Amino acid sequence: MKAAPLIAALDEKEGIQQLLIHTGQHYDKNMSEIFFEQLGIPKPDFNLEVGSGSHATQTAEIMVKFEEVAMAEKPDLLVVYGDVNSTIGTAIVAAKLGIPIAHMEAGLRSFDHGMPEEINRILTDRITDLYFTPSADGDENLIKEGVDPAKIHLVGNVMIDTLIRLLPSAEAPEGITADEPYALVTLHRPSNVDRPEMLTEIMQSLNRISERIRILFPIHPRTRARMAEMNLMPANPERITLMDPVGYLQFIWLQKHAAVILTDSGGIQEESTYLQVPCLTLRPNTERPVTCELGTNILIGEDMQRFEKEAHAILDGGAKPGKIPPLWDGKTGERTAEILAEFLQP
């Protein structure tokens, strides 16, 4: 979702050749391949096929395999996105080979070093050459960390480009309708799904909320496995529908038509803010504070009583009003491509 708009915008620039590398960090068909199809992203030039593993194993494999590609192709610039292991793994290799790095979604901070993504964000931004930020807080964080303001570019949220472009093509997953109101749930963070006591509390709350509104739960493979291991499958499967992961077009349809979204995802906080759909985030912090300050997002932390209270308040018509943040206008890819083209000129 983040790469597609910039790939398309750079294609319009003469003299710039792009090579797309799929590390294989996300390797399940429903978590990867379908996105290339629906987003119109060209087939990757390289697939490193790294697969799953511990953070150290996955990052190390990415580094070893990406180094071979980088040394053979000798790119003039590496563009990395977000905060996954692919981001920091490839950035470290590029930095040591003297390849400039551009970081999309630079400057975001949750200030929680217990999040693997936070470590990836901080380390990537220490070795980046061009910083592309989605919101003003990103600029502020980078400047506080000593980054030269001349290297920072507030371009907006590139993921919203994709959302705006494809929203007219959004379609309901097979067998799902909006005839009856529903809450949309996603869970995948280790702090929620790998801790038995936390996952138990979350499922107990969802069971109670489902007595009032049906719940659609496209379930991450890791989360399904944890729930099965802990015997935490829904008390009433007719009220909580566990779904396989869906494609992007189906998922934005689910977001657009939801009465409320219950999540621990970063990207969904942003998409729900643009869609103006109430969102309750089961995390104690967020690297996207603009979604709470301007948008429709509310941070819940681990307080399940508050979680249920806020959900009922929204269903009673008490959702807080939200605004779309500045520059979340569908043109971030174009703005970024202009800056990259200037940087790459001989």
Read off the pLDDT of residues 292-326 as tens digits, 9 standing for 90 and up.
999 999 999 999 999 999 999 999 999 999 999 99
**288/215 Cα distance (integer angstroms):** 25
Is residue 161 classed as helix, strand or coil in its secondary structure?
helix
CATH topology of domain 3-156+328-344: Rossmann fold (3.40.50)
Which pLDDT does position 36 carry in this prediction?
A: 82
* Whole-number average pLDDT of the chain: 94
Spacing of C-alpha 175 from chain mean position: 26
Q: How many CB atoms lie within 10 A of CB 188?
A: 15
Cβ contact 46:71 at 8 Å: no
188 is a catalytic site residue: yes
Read off the pLDDT of residues 91-107 as tens digits, 9 standing for 90 and up.
999 999 999 999 999 99
254 pLDDT more than 60: yes
46 pLDDT more than 60: yes
For the chain, percent helix, then strand, then coil, each to nearest 5? 45, 10, 40
Work out the pLDDT band at 136, boundaries 50, 70, 90.
very high
27 pLDDT more than 80: no
Cβ contact 98:78 at 8 Å: no
From the list 22, 26, 153, 188, the catalytic residue is: 188
Q: Could you check whether 3-156+328-344 and 173-315 share the same CATH topology?
A: yes
Could you tell me the CA-to-CA distances from 245 to 28, 29, 184, 208, 218 in Å, in that order?
A: 10, 10, 13, 24, 5
**338/142 Cα distance (integer angstroms):** 22
Which pLDDT does position 28 carry in this prediction?
A: 58
Residue 250, both tokens: 């189906």
**What are the boundaries of each domain within the chain?**
3-156+328-344, 173-315
CATH of 173-315, one of 3.40.1550.10, 3.30.360.10, 3.40.50.2000, 2.40.30.10: 3.40.50.2000
What is the pTM assigned to this prediction?
0.92
Cβ contact 115:87 at 8 Å: no
Residue 293, both tokens: 């300050």
Which pLDDT does position 35 carry in this prediction?
A: 78
Residue 252, both tokens: 């934005």
Residue 335, both tokens: 């703005």
Spatial strand order in the sheet of 130-133? 78-81, 101-104, 130-133, 152-154
29 pLDDT more than 60: no
Work out the pLDDT band at 222, boundaries 50, 70, 90.
confident
**How many angstroms separate the first and last alpha carbons of the chain?**
30
Which pLDDT does position 33 carry in this prediction?
A: 74
Which pLDDT does position 311 carry in this prediction?
A: 98
Element spanning 281, H or E? strand 279-281
What DSSP line would sit under 263-274, residue for residue? E--HHHHHHHHH
